[in-house]
Amino acid sequence: MAPLAALKFALTSCLLAVAVAGVSPVAAKGPTDPAPGSTAQVRLADLPKQGRETYERILQGGPFPYEKDGTVFGNRERLLPIKNRGYYREYTVRTPGSRTRGARRIVCGGPPKVPDACYYTADHYASFRRIVVE
């Protein structure tokens, strides 16, 4: 078999094996990636100072510096556990030097002052880590 033909055969075999297994080579998850519907964790103590301050404000019921704080978060990307609309609320985590709200947020589910769970995102909802209080 010619080298080019052998290469084509090897690539085709790999792609066929991946297709049969039902795994996309582009979307394959690594061992550290959370499973769909679950999230990684972050300790409250490991959040940036502004994140810890926002978390304390949430538990106190405010005051919040941004008008959008406390509004319903729709979870349209379904990265957080699926709940009824209105379950999640979003809060801004200040970004020093930013003229806008920035990309950092805390999203909490459940009653506003005693949430069931809170999640931190530093990338404007592209990923979440569940906040663990220790």
Catalytic machinery residues? 90, 124
Which residue in the block uniquely carries the two structure tokens 């394959």? 28
Rounded Cα distance, 2 and 132, in Å? 57
Residue 6 Cα distances to 2, 11, 20, 72, 99, angstroms? 6, 9, 21, 56, 57
Question: CB–CB of 118/108 below 8 Å?
Answer: yes
DSSP secondary structure of 76-115: TT--SPP--TTSEEEEE---TT-SS--S-EEEEESSSSS-
